[in-house]
Amino acid sequence: MRLVPSRVATSGFVVALLLSAGCSGNSDQRDAGEPRATFAMPDQSAERVDAPEVTRMKDGQPADRNPPALSIDARLGSVQNDVSRTRTRIAGEEFGLNAARLLTDVRSDASPKDVVEVLFDPAVPEARRVYAYQQLNDQEQLGRTVDVRQEQWIRSSFDDVDRPTTGQVEVAMSVPAPALQFTSWDTVLIDLKWSEGRWVVTNFGNGRSGPKDGKSLDTPQRRDFLEGAGWRRLPPRDA
């Protein structure tokens, strides 16, 4: 299935919403302080970049363990730690989960430029990084955050279970948007790959928007909102 993210696709759409109312071995390890390619921020008056197409996995792969749920703070360090430099499926899932949060939650301790620079593979088309940067600026207008007091849901598909190189992580999170005066359940798609001793994002997109009551998903809601197989529940850390 091809998805074209459009939840906050243009600044005009944002304005309309506001008016009307989301390892091992030396070859696998690299110094955390190694500089990444820099990202040239577009000018505020720059033309809007269309949302990239993301091919959504049909079914997630089964798993016998889960990554930890999101912590209270949205910190860039969550994707710059030992986990991000560990070449396993569970590490890739944890990286993807935190990447999805950083691309949604405006309370990050880093600027949109830093988030994009750290998360994205510098080899991807520049338009994808510009799109992510513009999306983050749009999120700030809406005041969007991730409610980590709620459960999260995750599923993934990787090219190799034991020593993956590429994969996709899909995350469902409860996302308050104060400017719109509601909280919605939204999914975020993260394409990632193993590159130069760490996980990096190669593409991302907003998936589905679901219930807007700010509560945990009940059984009928899960059935309707969480499309496809392989979803696993991540209870909140303070539960």
Supply 149's token pair.
């007091």
Burial class (CB in 10 A: 0-12, 13-18, 19+), 213: middle
Average pLDDT of the chain is 84
With a threshold of 0.85, does the pTM exceed it? no
Chain-centre distance of CA 217, in angstroms? 20
Whether pLDDT at 22 is above 60: no
Mean of the pLDDT values across residues 150-155? 96
Q: What is the pLDDT of residues 175-193, one digit of tens each?
A: 998 888 889 999 999 999 9
Q: What is the pLDDT of residues 41-86, one digit of tens each?
A: 666 556 888 888 899 999 999 999 999 999 988 899 999 999 999 9
> Residue 180: its pLDDT value, please?
84
**CATH of segment(s) 49-229:** 3.10.450.50
> Residue 47: its pLDDT value, please?
80
Q: Give the orientation angle of helix 11-20 with respect to helix 126-142, to 10 degrees.
A: 20
Alpha-carbon distance of 10 to 138, in angstroms, equals 8
Whether pLDDT at 141 is above 80: yes
pLDDT band at 39 (very low <50, low <70, confident <90, very high): low
Whether pLDDT at 10 is above 60: no
Which is nearest to 22 in space by CA: 235, 216, 200, 189? 189
pLDDT band at 36 (very low <50, low <70, confident <90, very high): low
Q: Domain extents for the chain?
A: 49-229
Q: What is the pLDDT of residues 103-129, one digit of tens each?
A: 999 988 999 999 999 999 999 999 999
Whether pLDDT at 96 is above 70: yes
Alpha-carbon distance of 15 to 142, in angstroms, equals 9
Contact between 177 and 184 under an 8 Å Cβ cutoff? The reply is: yes
Whether pLDDT at 12 is above 80: no
